[in-house]
Amino acid sequence: MKYLPLMLDITKTRIIIFGGGKVALRKIKYLQGADVTVVSENFDDEILRKNVKAIIKSINNENDVKELIRASDLVIIATNNKMVNEMILHVCEDEGKFYNLVDDRKSKIIFPSFYEENGIILAISTSGRAPSLSTFIRKKLSVQIKEYAMAIDIVERIRKSLDSHNEEIRKKFFETLFRNDEFWSLIKNDNMESAYDFAMQLWRNMYVPD
């Protein structure tokens, strides 16, 4: 496996984007909540309306890049100049920075196609080989995720109710609960209290002696 999937708290991540066009705008929308700086000679008007720091600057040499990326955790390379992109990439490698070269498999990190619903995140990647297929798969699977997303609040409540019990026992209980069609039927019909009561009764039946 070449790429390791990780979950990154973007609210604690400083990101710099080189490029001010549509591609950069797409990444900005993806990174809402992060501390984002965008560097370019020209900016798409919508970028200037986003909550980002915009620096109007041309990139002429490696020292320019080093200075700009010094305080950043992640660098996104999205200019329309291939030579500039390559220069930024090499500086990132020399400086040990994580970087994404948009639409190029040379990237140290790549962005998956993802879907988020109520804290459940589904991320799909083809390791940079076929991004359009990632998008197709994500759209197909997101329909199923919606039902699971409905359950997350109740499952969290059940987990907290059982926190004092042995972890292995809790694990086996949840495996049984999640295979139970009646539990999912209650979730699907938005009977959340009944779903909670059903789960707790199942727990008592399994682990509470008469």
Signed CA dihedral, 165, 6, 54, 24: sign only: negative
Q: What is the pLDDT of residues 68-82, one digit of tens each?
A: 999 999 999 999 999
Average pLDDT, the chain: 92
Higher pLDDT, 76 or 119: 76
* Model confidence, pTM: 0.80
